[in-house]
Chain A
Amino acid sequence: MKATKAKFKFDGGIHPAYHKELARDRAIETMPIPALLRVSMSQHLGAPAKPLVKKGDTVKRGQCIGEAAGFISAAVHAPTSGTIKEVGTAPTAMGTSAAFIAIEPDGEDAWIEGLEGIADWQNADTKALIAKVAAAGIAGMGGAGFPTNVKLSPPPDKPIDTLILNGAECEPYLTADHRLMVEHAEQIWTGCQIVRKVLGAKHVHIAIEDNKPEAIAAMEQAMEGADDDASISILKTEYPQGAEKQQIYATTGREVPSGGLPMDVGCVVENVGTTLAVWDAVVNGKPLTERVTTVTGMPVSEPKNVLGRIGIPYSDLLDFCGGLKADVAKIISGGPMMGLAQPGLDATTTKTTSGLLFLAPQETQTFRSMPCIACGRCVGACPMYLVPAELSQMLEAEDYEAAEELNVLDCIECGCCAFACPAHRPLVQHMKQGKSKVMLKRRQAQKK
């Protein structure tokens, strides 16, 4: 096993202020279960789960309370034992409305009976392993939250030869994945081997940015004695090294074709948190009911990496971190580059809540955009090699055909362009709107 510098690097990218020092050295703390948990049925991309319980039911921890609805969907489990207080709809962190289940914990935190792991996973059947992952409701814990069992079952005509473990954590401020690697390297490596076995992938790359030497050291230690096809790939610290396509390129030199998926180039990328959840699901038989969320930002009294149940209201999470010590101008679910700004603290954590970030007024202002001054910085920053300046002008003029021709759909909404733009143009917002308009048009064309 060797830790080596990644051979490739995508063009573009940016160097934001990382501010990881706020929470980097804070060991993961387990948060006590709050008085009420609200578990959203919309935990990730794809179809929301269907509630399986009603008001007044009692549930045990790990009991399935939301059923996967459709192919790209994952089951939702009760994060603790207690009584169902309400089944209703509320705005999610994404700003859309979705069903939720409110649970009043009974304090016992009793697991449901009959959860069993596969201790001897090395010799287990692949199907059984995938079934365990699916039953545990695991969804990608890095950001988008693609259901993991779907990723683990690629169609037979797409053989996977490389598994990439994403520990880049390129988002500024966030340190949850870093702490996981430092504190749970062994389990992550076991989870990784399980995934590798399921996929039959020959190569494994653990991708970590070079600003996390501790995590690299911990993973190196955990991987003592691993075979030669497994390696740690040290990435240069640059945003967005953690983006799937850019990471595959950095570690293997392969470019995922436009509109394609990683499996088209024989790769699967899994977040380190996801792999840990896979370990828990397979070895211990436990469904995914908790995750580590970094609560951070200058105004937070004690920034922490919090291990908390799914469904904790953001306000409780903040209280656990000592509340605020200064004014807040912006609340973000996730990191500053791709996170979602929140109108308040009403939303609750989901399987994809990697961070809860508070920005002080001096860190974030409202901007008025100016006309593009054609400085080209967005072009230099775009890791997808688009020309955001031209696209944004086309989209502003509602010329969706032209934007489609210039590949607006390839935009990964990473935010590099808008970060770099001195004219403060709302480039990502234009891209998002343009993408949804173009997709809508395509769907309509298909119907005809």
Chain B
Amino acid sequence: MDINNILITSGAIGGVGLTCGTALALAAKFLAVKEDPRVEAMDEILPGANCGGCGFAGCADYAKAVVLDGAAINLCAPGGNEVLELIAEAMGQEASAEEKRVAVVMCAGDSEKAPRKHLYNGVADCTAAAAVAGGDKLCKYGCLGYGSCARVCPSGAIEFKNGVAIVHPDLCISCSACVRACPRNLIKMVPVSKTIHVVCSSKDKGPIVKKACQVGCIGCRMCLKLAGDAFEMEGFLALRNYDIPVENELIVEKCPGKCIVKCGASEAPSPEATEPTPSEPSTEPAEATTEGQT
């Protein structure tokens, strides 16, 4: 009933916590496996983004693989050439520099330009949405906007503008985690210096695309006519061939599908782009959606 009892109780509970904590900390210290010093050094070199882009569970895992298992040294995309050189030096290998690649979302059909076909009510995740009645976008190739890519991006480089994902090239660290996360395979890694893209992934014929999206590729081959080999056709979809520069930039204006865009690192997505949920009120899936607890 008196304060002493309470103090004693709190003290006892606190004491138990403290003892357990200390024991755990000590155990961690004494039971820890001794690391190979070379692995440790390699771990220091790696950027510590733990993005998994190299295909290993994290930077430490890749460090081990490079030092002990002879894994390729050029797998760390976020590290760029700097890190590559450091690894090469440490391992006594040649480094061959490559241009940095950044992610680009090949879809521009936002909630105004590409209508939804139904009101999706479920987990706010693109993979989940795509599995229910084929996804809620009329275009069956388009960005669903539920942010599966943004959730895996270690650098917060993906933003949403009107329900479509946009990668901020300055922030992208080239890990390609988003490429793997997108159920619609919309994201491609392209050399950072290339700024003209075909931002559509619809393989449908022109009339179907027109119905589903105002900024879709209708397969008219205009780009091939105007800019030659910088573009190529795959079925009814034009693709950019990044090996060949675009001589005639007029195509950006001339593309009848309005799906060829020019954007550079300088033209980052506008600041109003924010949440990974479409924001138009009437069809707003964010409202209709059960939110994933993150």
Contact = CB atoms under 8 A, between A and B. Distances in A.
Contacts of A342: 133
A369 B290 contact: yes
A128 B2 CA distance: 89
A432 B128 CA distance: 9
Interface in B127-152: 127-128, 131-134, 136, 140
Contacts of A253: none
B289 interface: yes
B232 interface: no
A91 interface: yes
Given A366-B121, A429-B123, A341 B290 contact: no
A430 B133 contact: no
Given A366-B119, A433-B127, A95 B293 contact: no
A430 B293 contact: no
A341 B293 CA distance: 24
A368 B289 contact: yes
A367 interface: yes
Interface string A85-114: 000000100011100000000000000000
A340 B121 CA distance: 13
Given A344-B117, A366-B288, A368-B289, A433 B133 contact: no
B131 A369 contact: no
A296 to B, nearest CB: 20
Interface in A171-208: none
Contact of B133 (A343, A367, A429, A436): A343
Nearest to A365: B121
B120 to A, nearest CB: 9
Which one of B127, B289, B290 has the highest number of Cβ atoms from chain A below 10 Å of its Cβ? Answer: B290
Contact of A396 (B121, B289, B293): B293
A297 B124 CA distance: 29
Interface in A269-300: none
B291 interface: yes
Interface in B214-271: none
A19 interface: no
A424 interface: yes
Interface in A68-95: 91, 95
B112 to A, nearest CB: 20
Contacts of B121: 366-367
A134 B85 CA distance: 65
A156 interface: no
A328 B120 CA distance: 15
A279 to B, nearest CB: 35
Given A366-B121, A429-B128, A371 B133 contact: no
Contact of A340 (B133, B289, B290, B293): B133
Which one of A91, A366, A432, A433 has the highest number of Cβ atoms from chain B below 10 Å of its Cβ? Answer: A366
Given A343-B117, A344-B117, A433-B128, A426 B134 contact: no
10 contacts: A91-B133, A95-B134, A96-B134, A341-B118, A366-B288, A367-B121, A368-B287, A368-B289, A429-B122, A429-B123
**Which 9 residue pairs spanning A and B have beta carbons closest together?**
A369-B290, A95-B133, A343-B118, A95-B134, A366-B288, A366-B121, A426-B290, A343-B117, A426-B123
